[in-house]
Structure 1
Amino acid sequence: MRSKILRCESCARYTLKEICPACGGRAAPTKPARFSPDDPYGRYRRVLASEA
């Protein structure tokens, strides 16, 4: 299943439309981060999540 959320290539805003409503640039599909059991940045991400 593909994600419906798109990201503008010009201004990096997220949108559901193919043309960015903010700048009029082209929006492309986003790709999720790859899963890895040996995630080298997992520790930092968990620390940031616990602070928020």
Structure 2
Amino acid sequence: MKHLLRKCEFCKTYTLEEKCTNCDNRTLDPHPPKFSLEDKYIRYRIKEKYES
């Protein structure tokens, strides 16, 4: 499923465009990635989180 809603990282407004209509900066996907308990790489993500 593709997320259509996007959020500007500078002015914090939501839009459907790749570039913000207010400040002309890039927009990001505000939705978190899917979580699964059977994730093969969870060990590495947790390790990376605590090391940084």
In 2, Cα distance between the equivalents of 1:11 and 1:4?
Answer: 18
Identify unmatched segments of 5+ residues in structure 2.
35-52
Identity across the alignment (%): 36
Tell me the amino acid that sits aligned with residue 30 of structure 1: P
Alignment correspondent of 1:11: 11
State the TM-score, normalizing by the size of structure 1. Answer: 0.56
- What residue identity is the alignment partner of 1:16? L
Over the aligned positions, Cα root-mean-square deviation in angstroms equals 2.0
Whole-angstrom CA distance in 1 between matches of 2:18 and 2:9? 11
- Give the C-alpha shift of residue 3 in structure 1: 1.4
How many residues are matched?
35
CA distance in 1, matches of 2:17, 2:2: 15
Question: Moved runs in structure 1, 4+ residues, more than 2 A?
Answer: none
